[in-house]
Amino acid sequence: MDFEDTPEEAEFRAEVQAWLKANAPKNASANAFSADLNEAEALKIAKEWQAKKADARYAKITWPREIGGMGGTPIQNVIYSQEEAKYALPGGFFDIGLGMCIPTLLTHGTPEQAERYTKPALYGEEIWCQLFSEPAAGSDLAGIRTRAEKDGDEWVVNGQKIWTSGAHYSDYGILVTRSNPDVPKHKGLTFFFLDMKTPGVEVKPIKQISGGANFNEVYFTDVRIPDSQRLGAEGDGWKVSLTTLMNERAAIGGGGGALGSDELLKLFRGIEMHDGPAINNMAVRERLADWYVQGQGLKYTRFRSLTALSKGETPGPENSIGKAVSAPRGQDYTSFALELMELGGMITDPDLAPLKAGFQSGWLFAPAMRIAGGTDEILKNIIAERVLGLPGEIRVDKDTPFNELPTGH
Amino acid sequence: MNFDFSDDQKLLKDQANKFLQDKCDLTVVRRILDGDELYEADVWKGIVEMGWTGTAIPEEYGGIGLGHLELCMIAEELGRSLAPVPFSSSVYLATEALLIAASEDQKQKYLPALAAGEMIGTLALNEGTQAATPRTIKASYSGGKISGTKLPVPDGDIANFAVVAVKTGSGSDEGAISLAVVDLTGEGVTRTPVTTLDPTRNLSNITFDNAPAELVGAEGSGWSTIRQVLDRAAVLTAFEQVGGADAALNTAKEYALGRYAFGRPIASFQAIKHKLADMYIKNELARSNSYYGAWALSTNAPDLPAAAAGARIAATDAFNFAAKENIQTHGGMGFTWEFDCHLFYRRAKLLSVSLGSALSWKDKLVSELEKRNAA
């Protein structure tokens, strides 16, 4: 038992370090993707960087060399990410495209389509988004209502998508639609990809409770998509969606949020309570210990998964607990930190609140973490069903035609 | 990254699992619960024959000289089986105390006997229903004799000898505490089993009246040794808790799959599914913290005190939660003597309070974090 790289891993890490040192922008860490850098600036830096990475085959380490990857292993991918993270480069613009959209296209598209779209995505020249969730279909994705009707060699799409990350700067999107409402819901879906500049596509940012706008609504009004951009057979959209989602789950979570136990300790040391510094109060100490131990538990669970990757094995089910723990934990400790600041906990002025008001912004964003990418409840269902083997929900909507299902909000 | 046990260590775990399934299923645990025996002597004999008692004892002292990682594997299986044997007292406490602090003569006298199962040891720390601290330890040593009362002493009616925490100085600071080894079968020792919440493990009320004793380690160094012993035992006990929590989760799962209500298995209700998912999450957090504790223990890392506390806190939480929610999942049947749920509930509480409360470990953990991040 140790935390060391194998000789092969150490060699790869050294190569990566040398390459990053020679190629990463000189002032990289100053370019951290933060409020100081607007999105257009961040995107410009990110695109240049992505092209450099693609040339060196670091853009998709695990992809085969024939399509521009490195033919590397999952653990090499992790090592690269660990090293690149030290440079705090703006990122995240290409993850959906390269992680989910292009793999779906590679599986279900024609060789010509794969050829046409893979390289520009790899080089960051074209960005992709994923048009899945709808106002009436979140956790229950197969309940989507955006309608696709066939008209000759084309499909006409009407409806609305929501929570689409990056739609406003994306060039292409993958889209799941309802092509037949007369059959049960999983059977009436059809999957497409489309140019986001197609007439009738309208992207509107969603203003969040945190004030920011990380996601969009996307409206479709008589949007015409050629049948040649259908992925999978008509009615097979659910099966194609599962390919996309499977790729989403292949990732191993990162290192957790920006605020850790060290920041909490610092805060608790600096805050006065009625009986002295907060850190001397046993109730405060107990909570800090709990959050520290949860954080350590996540860290070493990740290490167990990395060990499996390092041995060339698939990580075990322990990998599934990450967000179910980290999201509620983040909400708990930011909330507690605000309580300790008493009325001052309300202050969001970065010059007046500790850590540039990081606990305040963390608390305001925390509800999103418990919902995005699978709610706490859905994640526990997944653990219960896939890890523990408990029965799935009894489905009342499985065999009923979609247009006969009861609807609410 | 190689944050896992080796294939050999896992093989040892499998062997331990098979032995305990074969010789120590829950009907055997129940015999100790319902009867007058203090422990399961046949299981203990088998454990000794397989050399488990000498796992971390160097070969020069008659052990098999493996190490603490191997001991962790055995501990997880002992925890899973709820084995009614004095393993933790003799191996995690007495043996470790002697390995840390004993003189060469004492090591020669006790360690080979412990490894061979000819002796069973324990650590006598607590005095009454409160934490053991330099302020609450009143048993005293002078001139080669100890007097006072230790209550409760784990496996105190089974052990041949005890390493006893005694007062040798006048103050109430750590330097006033020493350790002394006492023959529990000798003169001046009166011991009586006490009734406890977990009758599958012995707790004893021991009175020393000028009982002959010999200091272990330098006078006044007792508390420092105790701290080290508790760190080591915390990691090993965490593995017992991880094993127990895993078994409790499996019991709950099997019952929920087989029990039907409202026309469907109760395992199909989200209230039950989420409960079991919560158990799984806590168990994995406990396992991962325990692995880190095992690494720190086996390498004697400077981070051992924090690592041990982390393992202890997470594993205590996991086993307590799994044990109580296992009963809840069973409904009324979980409250019957006939069902096994209470065996886990009892053992979870015993392990939870054995080495100091979760609260005191949390306090200690934060002290370690404060030291690491000196203000």
pLDDT tens per residue across span A169-215: 999 999 999 999 999 999 999 999 999 999 999 999 999 998 888 89
SS3 A64: coil
Q: Is CATH 2.40.110.10 correct for B121-220?
A: yes
- The dihedral sign for the CA sequence A338, A341, A344, A348: negative
A180's CB contacts (< 8 A; 6+ apart) are A187, A188, A235, A402
Cis peptide before B152 (omega within 30 of 0): yes
DSSP A30: G
Question: Across-strand partners of B193?
Answer: B204
Band of residue A256 on the pLDDT scale cut at 50, 70, 90: very low
Q: Do A390 and B253 touch (CB under 8 A)?
A: yes
Q: CA A220, A224, A227 angle in degrees (round to 5)? A: 125
Q: Do A293 and B277 touch (CB under 8 A)?
A: no
Question: Distance (Å) from the C-alpha of residue A338 to the closest C-alpha of chain B?
Answer: 20
State the Cα–Cα distance between residues B347 and B26, nearest whole angstrom. Answer: 13
Band of residue A33 on the pLDDT scale cut at 50, 70, 90: very low
CA-based radius of gyration for chain A? 23
β pairing state of B161-167 and B121-124: parallel
Of the residues A248, A263, A377, A404, only one is catalytic, namely: A248
Which residue of B297, B366, B370, B371 to mutate against A (max A Cβ within 10 Å)? Answer: B366
Residues of CATH 2.40.110.10 domain(s) within chain B? 121-220
Q: Does A250 have pLDDT greater than 60?
A: no
Q: Do A286 and B362 touch (CB under 8 A)?
A: yes
Q: CA B266, B267, B270 angle in degrees (round to 5)? A: 95
SS3 B146: strand
Domain B7-88+102-115, CATH homologous superfamily name and number: Acyl-CoA dehydrogenase/oxidase, N-terminal domain (1.10.540.10)
Least confidently predicted of A116-120, A242-246, A350-354: A242-246
A225's CB contacts (< 8 A; 6+ apart) are A148, A154, A155, A157, A175, A192, A194, A198
Q: How far is CA B353 from CA A180, B103, B348, B358, in A?
A: 62, 30, 9, 8
Q: Do B365 and A1 touch (CB under 8 A)?
A: no
A224's CB contacts (< 8 A; 6+ apart) are A151, A154, A155, A156, A157, A198, A199, A200
Q: What CATH code would you report for A261-373?
A: 1.20.140.10
Question: Tokens for B308?
Answer: 């041990």
A63's CB contacts (< 8 A; 6+ apart) are A69, A70, A71
Question: Across-strand partners of B22?
Answer: none
pLDDT of A253: 46
DSSP A196: T
Q: How far is CA A55 from CA A49, A119, A347, in A?
A: 10, 11, 46
Mean pLDDT of A222-248: 92
Decide: B326 and B341 in contact? Cβ < 8 Å: yes
Provide the 10 A C-beta neighbour count for residue A111: 8
Question: Distance (Å) from the C-alpha of residue B266 to the closest C-alpha of chain A?
Answer: 9
* C-alpha closest to that of A387 among B270, B276, B257, B244: B276
End-to-end CA distance of chain A: 53
The stretches in chain B having pLDDT less than 70 are 375
φ, ψ at B105 (rounded to 5°): -60, -45
Provide the 10 A C-beta neighbour count for residue A339: 9
A183's CB contacts (< 8 A; 6+ apart) are A235, A401, A402
A381 CB neighbours in chain B (<8 A) are 270, 273-274, 277
Decide: A251 and A102 in contact? Cβ < 8 Å: no
Length of chain B in residues, anyone?
A: 375
Question: Distance (Å) from the C-alpha of residue B70 to the closest C-alpha of chain A?
Answer: 11
B4 CB neighbours in chain A (<8 A) are 1, 304, 307-308
Please indicate whether residue B230 or residue A252 has the higher confidence score (pLDDT): B230
CA-based radius of gyration for chain B? 21
End-to-end CA distance of chain B: 32
DSSP per residue, A227-242: GGGEESSTTBHHHHHH
B49's CB contacts (< 8 A; 6+ apart) are B117
pLDDT of A373: 82
**Architecture category of domain B224-372 in CATH:** Up-down Bundle (1.20)
Q: Is CATH 2.40.110.10 correct for A128-249?
A: yes
Q: What share of chain A is helix, strand, coil (3-state, %, to 5)?
A: 50, 15, 35
State the Cα–Cα distance between residues A399 and A389, nearest whole angstrom. Answer: 23
Decide: A358 and B247 in contact? Cβ < 8 Å: no
Q: Do A293 and B314 touch (CB under 8 A)?
A: yes
* Nearest neighbour of A310 by CB, restricted to B1, B270, B285: B1
A278 CB neighbours in chain B (<8 A) are none
Q: Does A106 have pLDDT greater than 90?
A: yes
pLDDT of A340: 96
Question: Distance (Å) from the C-alpha of residue B68 to the closest C-alpha of chain A?
Answer: 12
Find, in chain A, the residue whose alpha carbon is nearest to that of B68: A1
A4 CB neighbours in chain B (<8 A) are 1-2
B298 CB neighbours in chain A (<8 A) are 1
Average pLDDT, chain B: 97
Decide: A98 and A105 in contact? Cβ < 8 Å: no
State the Cα–Cα distance between residues A64 and A73, nearest whole angstrom. Answer: 10
Q: Do A3 and B1 touch (CB under 8 A)?
A: yes
Q: Which long-range contacts (CB under 8 A, 24 or more apart) does B129-136 make?
A: B131/B356, B131/B357, B131/B360, B132/B165, B132/B356, B134/B172, B134/B173, B134/B174, B134/B176, B134/B177, B134/B223, B135/B172
Decide: B31 and B40 in contact? Cβ < 8 Å: yes
Least confidently predicted of A20-34, A383-397, B171-185: A20-34
A155's CB contacts (< 8 A; 6+ apart) are A148, A149, A177, A179, A190, A192, A224, A225, A226, A227, A230
Q: Do A318 and B310 touch (CB under 8 A)?
A: no
Band of residue A391 on the pLDDT scale cut at 50, 70, 90: very high
* C-alpha closest to that of A18 among A67, A74, A56: A56
pLDDT of A27: 61
Question: Tokens for A286?
Answer: 């107990």
Residues of CATH 1.10.540.10 domain(s) within chain B? 7-88+102-115
Predicted complex ipTM: 0.95
State the Cα–Cα distance between residues B351 and B236, nearest whole angstrom. Answer: 11
What are the sequence ranges of the domains in chain A?
A: 7-91, 128-249, 261-373
Q: Do A1 and B2 touch (CB under 8 A)?
A: yes
Burial class (CB in 10 A: 0-12, 13-18, 19+), A11: exposed
**For the segment A38-76, what is each residue's pLDDT rounded down to a tens digit?**
888 889 999 999 999 999 999 999 999 999 999 999 899
**For the segment A143-165, what is each residue's pLDDT rounded down to a tens digit?**
999 999 999 999 999 999 999 99
* C-alpha closest to that of B101 among B221, B265, B212: B221
SS3 B294: helix
**Does residue A248 carry a catalytic annotation?**
yes
